[in-house]
Amino acid sequence: MDMLRHLRIGTGYDVHAFAEGRPLILGGITVPHSRGLDGHSDADVLAHALTDALLGAARLENAHDIGQLFPDTDERFRGADSLLLLRTAASHVQRAGFSIVDADCILVAQAPKLSPYRDEMRSNLARTLSIDVSMIGLKATTTERLGFAGREEGIAAHSTVLLIRE
């Protein structure tokens, strides 16, 4: 039972609308598509959801979510590579004494088809977090044409992370 006091679960969610003239970046991969996602950084919803899940699980006082750690009012983060933001958040979590046990993610998009990029995204995320790729789950789903994702207005991502304090 003592070990259970050292386990933490965090959940992350992010959504971005499609925008013309931007590349579509998911999990650090540029996915071929007619539109990218709108955002202050590179708008990688997958990396953002995973970043929030990590920070939520660690419950750090000075970095409780992605918006506090990397505010969109700060020009330093305009166009930022979201994998670098994820790596920075992970180092805050590690300095607080936590290690990643597992992460599971879902991308929600009607289009484009994302399954061909799944393994490369998983590898990128694992490499960014310095963990084995087996510790990153990733699924993609549609909404059967319902809601903003179904109308192809944008993409959402969900992530759940399990941490352990060493």
- Per residue in 24-62, pLDDT (tens digit) is 999 999 999 999 999 999 999 999 999 999 999 999 988
Nearest alpha carbon to residue 138 among 109, 99, 95: 109
Neighbouring CB atoms inside 10 A of 58's CB total 24
Q: Assess contact for 93 and 58: CB atoms under 8 A.
A: yes
Q: What per-residue confidence (pLDDT) applies to 27?
A: 98
- Residue 139 pLDDT grade (very low, low, confident, very high; cuts 50, 70, 90): very high
What CA–CA distance (Å, rounded) separates 57 from 136? 16
Q: Is the pLDDT of residue 3 over 90?
A: no
Q: What per-residue confidence (pLDDT) applies to 45?
A: 98
Q: Which residue has the tokens 């789950």?
A: 137
What CA–CA distance (Å, rounded) separates 121 from 115? 10
- Residue 63 pLDDT grade (very low, low, confident, very high; cuts 50, 70, 90): confident
Q: What per-residue confidence (pLDDT) applies to 116?
A: 96
- Residue 166 pLDDT grade (very low, low, confident, very high; cuts 50, 70, 90): confident
